[in-house]
Amino acid sequence: MGKLFGTDGIRGQANCYPITPEVALQTGKAMAHVFQARGHGTKRAIIGKDTRLSGYMLESALTSGLVSLGMDVLLVGPVPTPAVAHLAKSMGAAVGIMLTASHNPYDDNGIKVFSHDGFKLSDEIEAQIEELVLSEEMSSEHIRSEDLGKAYRVEDARGRYIEFAKSSIANESLDGLKVVLDCANGAAYLVGPWIFKELGAEVTKIFAEPDGFNINNGCGALHPETVGEMVRQRKADVGIALDGDADRVIFCDAQGNMVDGDRILAMCALEFKTQGKLAQDTLVVTSMSNLGLHDAMRKAGVRVEVTDVGDRQVIERMRADRCNLGGEKSGHVIFMDYATTGDGILTALQVLRLMKQQGASLADLAKCMTEYPQALVSLRVVEKRPLEDMTIVQKVLERCRQDLGKDGRVLLRYSGTEPKVRLLVEARETAAVERWVGEISSVIHKEIGA
């Protein structure tokens, strides 16, 4: 067996290692062993999922593993990832488990795990679970039949999350707002439209008919042009595109123009700063955020903390520095005053509240920062050789850095979840971005390209 946990839980192609029922069963047993040993005073585990066909297989296998060692399992069905984090905390569970591969196609799946406090597991706990699974020690661990756990479905789980999400804007009205909501045929297809309608918005829902195969297929946060076109057709005020597990969101304004996580973070940080609500006067972002965001924050007197890529890294820095706002350009936004993880629906509610309170369009709010020209490309690779060991690659990166100087940057890193390398080039001039993307991509393709 190979390593299980990656940058965001366990992920891979469904029914191939490690996303198999055999591994899921052993992972369930390992989780039961670890979390009962940690003594949180509860034997309760929560399992949610998105809409992938393979979710049924993994749900059954994980449940079997957990109950076989005495855990009681609450099955909450298709709900957003942040709903599982919230329910784990609010329902007194020892662990919350979400079956999802986020923005990936239907034939991938994964296991995201949250602790009793709603935060993702520490490296230490992940290592304990992984060691037990890989050692196959759990295969021989059994308990008395009278001590087995139970599994049952929780019918009001979605309702609990809906009320939580609405409370994040103190039940303010969204009357008068016309919204197009792209549910990505994913985890939010039920709760998403319900939340916005209950708050008074006029909602046109699209891609809200999952069939097990169509999650993220030409829709959702990776395809905002789809919701943008519908916004123009329906003459709506805003388009909201969630990803498959609804932990992130990308917007479109009334003209169909994309508004990404950087602009959302900027407008929210400026509002929090004005109201004296921005903890430590600090915004936490990743290395992928646009330099224009840094410029806007500097002018407003907001300090910017930069982490490695990943919402987990952002959250860890936020907790360490006691910050309440952070996120990623990709649309993961964390409002720590309300939630313990990125939440696309909660983020959308904050943006709509801001539009209502200021009487401003999303396009007007998005003018709070000016982006540098930027290109982010994903290149498929046949192997993940250490980038620092590839002399030719390092030489072209160094030439790029010298050329761009202080007015730009280049970043190259492997994806933590896919056989790809991510290339980011940013500069004041579009021509420079295009030139260096082409040159670096060519070198990468020759060295390790698929």
Structure confidence by residue, pLDDT tens digits, 133-188: 999 888 888 999 999 999 999 999 999 999 999 999 987 899 999 999 999 999 99
The 10s digit of each residue's pLDDT in 98-141 is 999 999 999 999 999 999 999 999 999 999 999 999 998 888 88
User: Quick check: 40 and 46 in contact, CB under 8 A?
Assistant: no
The 10s digit of each residue's pLDDT in 402-436 is 999 988 999 999 987 789 999 999 998 999 999 99
Rounded distance between C-alpha atoms, residue 179 and residue 146, angstroms: 52
Q: Comparing C-alpha atoms, which of 372, 386, 377 is closest to residue 439?
A: 377
pLDDT at residue 76, rounded to an integer: 98
CB atoms within 10 A of CB 98: 29
Structure tokens at 8: 């965001």
DSSP state string for 42-61: --EEEEEE-S-TTHHHHHHH
pLDDT at residue 140, rounded to an integer: 87
The 10s digit of each residue's pLDDT in 74-92 is 999 999 999 999 999 999 9
Rounded distance between C-alpha atoms, residue 54 and residue 330, angstroms: 26
pLDDT at residue 406, rounded to an integer: 85
Angle at 355 between CA 245 and CA 252, to 5 degrees: 50
Residue 28 has pLDDT above 60, yes or no: yes
CATH class name, domain 374-448:
alpha beta
pLDDT at residue 42, rounded to an integer: 83
Rounded distance between C-alpha atoms, residue 72 and residue 136, angstroms: 23
Residue 34 has pLDDT above 60, yes or no: yes
Residue ranges of the domains in the chain?
5-155, 160-256, 259-344+364-368, 374-448
Angle at 432 between CA 426 and CA 433, to 5 degrees: 40
Number of residues that this document lists for the chain: 450
Residue 1 has pLDDT above 60, yes or no: no
Rounded distance between C-alpha atoms, residue 426 and residue 430, angstroms: 8
Task: Indicate the fold that domain 160-256 takes in CATH.
Answer: Alpha-D-Glucose-1,6-Bisphosphate; Chain A, domain 3 (3.40.120)
User: What residues form DSSP beta bridges with 9?
Assistant: 6
Rounded distance between C-alpha atoms, residue 227 and residue 331, angstroms: 15
Q: How far is CA 88 from CA 9, 96, 226, in A?
A: 17, 5, 34
Structure tokens at 366: 């998005």
Residue 40 has pLDDT above 80, yes or no: no
pLDDT at residue 2, rounded to an integer: 56
- CATH 3.30.1300.10 corresponds to the domain 5-155: no
Phi, psi of 382 (to 5 degrees): -90, -20
User: Average per-residue pLDDT in the chain?
Assistant: 95
Strands lying side by side in the sheet with 202-206 = 202-206, 178-182, 238-242, 249-252, 258-259
Distance of CA 366 to the CA centre of its chain: 22
Where residue 450 falls among pLDDT bands split at 50, 70, 90?
Answer: low
Homologous superfamily of 259-344+364-368: Alpha-D-Glucose-1,6-Bisphosphate, subunit A, domain 3 (3.40.120.10)
Compute the average pLDDT of residues 240-251: 98
pLDDT at residue 3, rounded to an integer: 86
β-bridge pairing 249-252 and 238-242: antiparallel
Topology alike, domains 160-256 and 259-344+364-368: yes
List all residues 6 or more positions away from 172 whose beta carbon is below 8 Å from its beta carbon: 199, 353, 356
Burial of 175 (0-12, 13-18, 19+ CB in 10 A): exposed
What are the catalytic residues? 102
Compute the average pLDDT of residues 303-314: 94
User: Quick check: 303 and 280 in contact, CB under 8 A?
Assistant: yes
Q: Comparing C-alpha atoms, which of 277, 285, 300 is closest to residue 369?
A: 300
CB atoms within 10 A of CB 135: 12
Read off the amino acid at residue 294. Answer: H
